[in-house]
Amino acid sequence: MKGHCVVIGAGIIGSSCAWHLRRKGLQVTLVDRVLPGQSCSYGNASCIATSGVVPPSYPGLLKKIPGWLLDPLGPVTIRARDLPALAPWLWRFWRVCNMQKVEEIAGAQALLMHRALGDFDDILEAVGSSNLKRSPGAIHVFDTEKEYLASQWQIDLASRLGFESYRLNPNDLESMVPALKLDNCVALLVPGWHHLLDPARVTANIAQDCFRNGGQWVQDHVTGVRVGEPEISLLTESGKQIKADQVVVAAGAWSNSLAEQVDYKVPLIAERGYHSQVSNPGFELKHPVMSLSRHFVMTPLEDGLRLAGTAEFAAVDAKPNYSRAKVLLKQAAHYLDGLNTGGVTEWMGQRPATPDSLPVISASPAHRNVFYAFGHGHYGITQGPTTGRIIADMLTGDCVHKRGVYVLAATGHPPDLIQIE
């Protein structure tokens, strides 16, 4: 399939889709209300978290949620006024909180994750940004032995799927993270994790390389989709009408409103994440450190230390609650000795979350010229280049099938997993 393709959304997913499509010779226009890399791809934890295959919908989670909601420092919060609108999504989430579903979802994620690092390295090299990736692995920390043992099944499941981690002895941990001040913690080295020094710049560089090679940029907000065959009309907030032969919906948490106009209502919500970024933490951290007890990540970036995490369930247009970002600063002080808390900036972004944590990477079930690439939740950065490659292969009819990938089909959600030989 050739012609003019419009990609809606200029985060890491949409920018990667546009880049791969242009490489295959399509005329490509990338459209977003903000510049590439300036929305959710700007403020994430900046980790290529390839071992993140086990979904949060694990058995026993529901018992923890009331305590988290009552704890002002807890990792999860739900805005009460938004609860009625969230109820259908939460019901679907509850339905996959069983071990059979967890193992199915983890297996599907593993197929994407095993490709993620290679696809990321390829695109970084092509756009001249390999210097923005670091590869020392990550440290995962449990505050207590009891918490580690309770999570052993998740570690074992990831290991069975090919994602190893290794317990560190106290001397090795002190050598790798001298600033860590927990004496009785359990720490794992996860060698498969990598991190970016500036995720926004990486995303912008991917988009800019697409533009240098003939791709087009339109800064506007797409509000309407009118599908015909062979032509699609996109309506924008400024009153423009953009014509396309194909369209890729990669608009993150805003994707559902566009997909619904075409053919497909996805149970997609905004799981809001926050970060606090310390410009001068007072020490050097070489590895990302993830607290699996307090559910946040501390990542060393080019311009400081980023503390990212929390899950706030609220309407996509709700005002930010920056007390959630301040919580992260308090949590980091629990771990890092001598953390300088001056010069802090705060941010909030909207993660597009599906109930089963699986992204929608698919053709439209009703229109052969519409494609979907959204719902990656916490793993947008990790799976961005892989999603772009899959979408480009699907759209052009090239053989994604030969790579043994599972394509997540938009025929219903939780999606059917279609194995392609």
Angstrom distance (rounded) from CA 383 to CA 352: 13
CATH topology of domain 4-419: FAD/NAD(P)-binding domain (3.50.50)
Please write the tens of the pLDDT for every residue from 31-52: 999 999 999 999 999 999 999 9
In whole angstroms, what is the distance from residue 194 CA to residue 46 CA? 9
Range of lowest pLDDT (77-81, 170-174, 190-194, 280-284):
77-81
What's the chain's average pLDDT? 90
Note the pLDDT tens digit of each residue in 285-310.
999 999 999 999 999 999 999 999 98
The pLDDT of residue 383 is 97
pTM over 0.75: yes
| DSSP E strands, 302-397 | 304-313, 344-353, 360-363, 370-374
- Using pLDDT thresholds of 50, 70 and 90, give the confidence band for residue 1: low
Q: pLDDT value at position 404? A: 34
User: Kind and range of the H or E element at 387?
Assistant: helix 380-396
Residue 417 pLDDT more than 70?
no
Q: Are 355 and 266 in contact (CB under 8 A)?
A: no
CA angle 121, 246, 3 (to 5 degrees): 85
Reported as a single tens digit per residue, the pLDDT across 124-142 is 999 999 999 998 899 999 9
Residue 316, judged by CB atoms within 10 A of its CB (0-12, 13-18, 19+), counts as middle
As a three-state string, the secondary structure of 309-324 is EEEEECCCCCCCCCHH
pLDDT value at 184 more than 70: yes
All structural domains of the chain with their residue ranges:
4-419
Residue 57, amino acid: S
